[in-house]
Amino acid sequence: MPGCRLPQEIRRRLPQRFFRGSITRPTGPLLYASQPGLPQGLNPFRAIEKFSEVRSPRYVPPEDDFWSVYDAAGGQDKLILLTALHLAARRGEFFPLTWADVDFAASQICLWTRKRKGGHREADWLQLTTDLRQTLVRWWDERPVRTSSHIFVCLEELPCMDNHYGEPFVERSKFMRRPGVEAKVKPFGFHAKRHLTASILHRKGYSLGHIQAVLRHQNPNTTAAISGALDSSR
C-alpha cells in the first residue's frame, strides 16, 4: 500500500534517541493514531516489539517520612502534599486544578485525567476528605494571589521565576528539595505519594476494589500489581 511503511523501516528511520530514553515502546498518539486509508488495527507502530528494560522497585516512603516533609513545608506546599496524598492524584491532574473544579457545598473535587485509552481528557469527581476540604477552604481565604482561577500558582519571587509569579505551575521539579532536606528523609517524588496512599489503604485492610477506585485504575490488574509489590516489600 503506497505510503505505508513496515515496522522495521519505521524503527530504522526514527531518531535513535527515541529508543534510548525511558520509554520501552511508542505510546500515546503513535499507538492510537490512524493513517488515512488504513483499516483499523493496522497501525504499524503497534507491531513494534516492546524493548528490553531494567526495572527497579518503586520507592514508597514510610508514612512518617511523608508527615515529616509535610511539617517542614509551609503554606501552599502543605496543600499540595495533602492533595496528592488524599486524592492519590497524579501531578498532571492536580497542578492544573482551578477553583471551578471544587464544589465546597457537595465536598467534591474534579480531577481531569488523560490516563484513558486514546488519551482522551475525562473528568473524575471525587469526594473530599474532611481535612482536605478544611485546608482548601483555609487556602481560599488566605491565598495571596486572588486574581488567579488556579488553586496552585507560582509564589516564589526569584530572578529565575521572573514574570511567572501568580501563574499556574507547569512543573515543580525542585518542590521536594527544601522540605525533604529539612525533614532529613530519603527523597521521594510525586508519584511515590500516590503509591503511599495505596500502601496506607492496603495496610488498613481495604479491598482491592476500593483501592482501585481510589487510584482510578481502569484495569484491576494494575492495582493488583501495586498491591503485590506492597506485599513483597513487607
CATH of the domain at 75: 1.10.443.10
Element (H, E) at 12: helix 7-13
Q: How many helices (H) and strands (E) does the chain have?
A: 10, 3
| 30-77 pLDDT, tens digit each | 555 555 555 555 666 666 666 666 666 778 889 999 999 999 888 899
CB-based contact 32:119 (threshold 8 Å): yes
Q: Is residue 81 part of a domain?
A: yes
| 185-214 pLDDT, tens digit each | 888 888 888 889 989 998 898 988 888 888
Looking at the structure, tell me whether residues 40 and 67 fall in a common domain. no
Looking at the structure, tell me whether residues 69 and 185 fall in a common domain. yes
**How far, in whole angstroms, is CA 76 from its chain's centroid?**
18
Measured CA to CA, the distance from residue 91 to residue 95 in angstroms comes to: 6
Q: Is residue 231 part of a domain?
A: no
Q: Is residue 157 part of a domain?
A: yes
Q: Residue type at 141?
A: D
Measured CA to CA, the distance from residue 14 to residue 17 in angstroms comes to: 8
CB-based contact 192:66 (threshold 8 Å): no
Q: Is residue 109 part of a domain?
A: yes
Beta strands in the chain (DSSP E): 102-103, 108-113, 122-127
Looking at the structure, tell me whether residues 82 and 109 fall in a common domain. yes
Looking at the structure, tell me whether residues 43 and 67 fall in a common domain. no
Looking at the structure, tell me whether residues 160 and 184 fall in a common domain. yes
Looking at the structure, tell me whether residues 184 and 124 fall in a common domain. yes
CB-based contact 173:187 (threshold 8 Å): no
Looking at the structure, tell me whether residues 68 and 43 fall in a common domain. no
Q: How many CA atoms are closer than 13 Å to the CA of 131, on its beta-carbon side?
A: 10
Q: Is residue 222 part of a domain?
A: no
Looking at the structure, tell me whether residues 17 and 43 fall in a common domain. yes
Looking at the structure, tell me whether residues 25 and 83 fall in a common domain. no
Q: Is residue 213 part of a domain?
A: no
Share of the chain above pLDDT 70, in %: 65
Place of cell 495533602: 82
Could you tell me the residue range of the domain that residue 169 belongs to?
A: 63-189
How many structural domains comprise the chain? 2
Residue 19's pLDDT is what?
Answer: 47
| 178-193 pLDDT, tens digit each | 766 777 888 888 888 8
| 134-149 pLDDT, tens digit each | 999 999 999 999 999 9
